[in-house]
Amino acid sequence: MARSLNRVQLIGNLTRDPELRYTPQGTAVCSFGLATNRGWTTDSGEKKEEAEFHKIVAWNKLGELCSQLLSKGRKVYVEGRLSTKSWTGQDGAQRTTTEVVIDDMIILDSKRDGESGTGEDFTPEEPTEKEAPKSEKKEKKEDKNDTNEEINPDDIPF
């Protein structure tokens, strides 16, 4: 039997806030829209741009995480499979939709208070531990033990 592959990888921006629901059995399902775009130049030198819109579905724990961490405008990487469904609408017409059922999601932008979530590049205010000199690394470790410091949920990397 020949092997086949149904795999999708997308990087784009959310077109709407995620919507979390639960099946009658209590299984979490989250859906949201994702926009991807591409640009090209025609033979005559004219610049063109085109957008594609994708329906994304996440199940179980991943669905709950998507609903908590994602919002309209955030840039994400998603990976999953294509799923096509057909049904008969209330008007009797046959309908079909294709969605991406994801099993992996990575947030690509950094969202802080006051940001619009437009996916603009983020430059850290202080160097990362990799870039910081050894003397600064010690100071940072001591600062982490300070109990007066508040932890912002947006600073958690997952």
The helix/strand/coil state of 143 is: helix
**Which pLDDT belongs to residue 94?**
94
What residue type is 29 in one-letter code? V
Sequence spans of domains, the chain? 1-38+49-111
Average pLDDT, the chain: 81
What confidence tens digit (pLDDT) does each residue in 17-39 have?
999 999 999 999 999 999 999 99
Are 57 and 30 in contact by the 8 Å Cβ rule? The answer is: yes
The region of weakest confidence among 58-62, 90-94, 146-150 is 146-150
Looking at the predicted structure, is the pLDDT value of residue 133 above 50? no
CATH 2.60.420.10 fits 1-38+49-111, yes or no: no
Reported as type and span, the H/E element at residue 139 is helix 134-144
**Which pLDDT belongs to residue 143?**
47
Looking at the predicted structure, is the pLDDT value of residue 91 above 50? yes
**Which pLDDT belongs to residue 151?**
62
Q: HEC states along 31-65?
A: EEEEEEEEEEECCCCCEEEEEEEEEEEEEHHHHHH
